[in-house]
Amino acid sequence: MRPGDPTLLVGLGMSRLSAIDATSGTFETKFIFRIWFVEPGLRGREAISHGAWESWQDDCPQRPAVDALSFANSKDAKVEFSSAALVHKIGMASVPGLVRLNLWVAGTFTQTFSMERFPYDSHFLSIHFRSCFGSKDYRLEPFHDHIDFKFAFQLPDFHVYQPPLASLSNASELVGGDGTTKHRVVIAVAVQRKAFSHELNIICMLVFINLVAFTSFLMDNLADKMSVTLTLLLTTVAFKLVVADKLPPVSYLTTMDLYMISSFAFLGLVILENVLYVVANEQPVFVNAVIVSWALFQLAFFTWTQSARRPLTKACAGGREHHLHLMRSGMVEAEPLFKLA
């Protein structure tokens, strides 16, 4: 970025968000890309509304050349013209020669997803706007009043938080050998997975299996105790195999994996208690220890699941300046926003 580069105000109106695939690290979206730029040769002309400016391309030689390469994280994007207008003002401020350009952008974008908290994971689906359109550098400024959703989204697996968040950040890449750096505008949509289905179909079933295992404490015969607990242990193993396709295929442990491991651990403690009962004949002590530890674990897990949602909620309520840090995008803190005089 060089001093004197022309300034572009950019906004976004998202109309579609779908196919969020955390495994492949992609999501599909369609949005209207809003650009405000000054065309010096039009400062003396009358305002022209959207849809009535057929010669806008000839009249705007300084217009930015937006294409799929204008989006740093696009995997497959298509850009189409929507409308252009000569407005001469923005809000209450007069800006002679100001042009508003609307472009439709649709395609697949890449995103880094962390599944460690699955099914309580939350993500920022971001779109990275490069400051170089074609071969020309610009100074990009997010226009927050025009960054919004055109429609209310109803995703089957995720909650969508409003409004979208935007920040201006430096990119780490260098351009050429002149030492100038590019910057980007990052606009992100915060989403959080709907965990109720996994809680009902997996966690509740594991809780039920553990509760049934505790009934072995009421039996006096060791053979009966071991028969119940080993049957439930095999049931848990079979249940784990059945729901395996519902879990993300990642190489690290998720929250759901850890909860399943804890269920195996408590079944192991029940089996150990039943064996120790024969050896030490002090069943009440071990029974109380196992049941109390299981109850405390369930309470701690429930408390954690409630607090896991708070960082995302605070980020959405706290403003636009914090979301880049939460995205872990590797960029530096946001720069002060440019204001039109």
CB-based contact 229:213 (threshold 8 Å): yes
Give the helix ranges, DSSP H, for the chain.
Answer: 56-59, 196-198, 204-213, 222-242, 255-280, 283-308, 310-318, 323-327
Question: What pLDDT does residue 200 have?
Answer: 94
Q: Which CATH class is domain 7-194+311-327?
A: mainly beta
pTM for this prediction: 0.80
CB count within 10 Å of CB 71 equals 20
- Please say if the pLDDT value at position 174 is more than 50: no
Question: What pLDDT does residue 297 have?
Answer: 95
Instruction: Please give the Cα distance from 108 to 223 (Å, whole number).
Output: 58
Question: Would you list the domain boundaries of the chain?
Answer: 7-194+311-327, 196-308
Average pLDDT rounded to a whole number, residues 312-330: 46
Give 319 or 222, the one with higher predicted confidence: 222
Question: What pLDDT does residue 55 have?
Answer: 92
Provide the CB-side half-sphere exposure for 121 (13 A, CA).
23
pLDDT band at 324 (very low <50, low <70, confident <90, very high): very low
pLDDT band at 322 (very low <50, low <70, confident <90, very high): very low
Q: Thinking of the domain 196-308, which architecture would CATH place it in?
A: Up-down Bundle (1.20)
pLDDT single digits (tens) 62-100: 899 999 999 999 999 999 999 999 999 988 889 999 999
pLDDT single digits (tens) 3-46: 557 889 999 999 999 989 988 899 999 999 999 999 999 998 99
pLDDT band at 314 (very low <50, low <70, confident <90, very high): low
Average pLDDT rounded to a whole number, residues 148-158: 81
pLDDT single digits (tens) 118-150: 999 888 899 999 988 888 889 898 888 898 887
pLDDT band at 336 (very low <50, low <70, confident <90, very high): very low
Instruction: Count Cβ atoms within 10 A of the Cβ of residue 30 and give its class: 0-12 exposed, 13-18 middle, 19 or more buried.
Output: middle
Average pLDDT rounded to a whole number, residues 96-111: 95
Instruction: Please give the Cα distance from 124 to 326 (Å, whole number).
Output: 8
Percent of the chain with pLDDT over 70: 82
Triad 257, 261, 265: Cα angle to 5°: 170
The phi and psi torsions of 225 (rounded to 5 degrees) equal -60, -50
Q: Parallel, antiparallel, or unpaired: how do β-strands 136-137 and 132-133 relate?
A: antiparallel
User: CB-based contacts of 319: which residues, under 8 Å, 6+ apart?
Assistant: none
Average pLDDT rounded to a whole number, residues 51-72: 92
The phi and psi torsions of 291 (rounded to 5 degrees) equal -65, -45
Instruction: Please give the Cα distance from 298 to 293 (Å, whole number).
Output: 9
DSSP state, 60?
Answer: -
Question: What pLDDT does residue 334 have?
Answer: 34
Lowest mean pLDDT among 168-182, 210-224, 248-262: 168-182
Instruction: Please give the Cα distance from 232 to 252 (Å, whole number).
Output: 26
Question: What pLDDT does residue 103 have?
Answer: 96
- Please say if the pLDDT value at position 327 is more than 50: no
- Please say if the pLDDT value at position 117 is more than 70: yes
Average pLDDT rounded to a whole number, residues 275-302: 83
Instruction: Please give the Cα distance from 69 to 78 (Å, whole number).
Output: 10
Q: Which of 164, 160, 182 is nearest to 173 (CA)?
A: 182
Residue 180: alpha-carbon gap to chain centroid: 31
Q: What HEC string does 128-179 produce? A: EEECEECCEECEEEEEEEEEEECCCCCCCCEEECCCCEEEEEEEEEECCCCC
Instruction: Please give the Cα distance from 307 to 318 (Å, whole number).
Output: 16
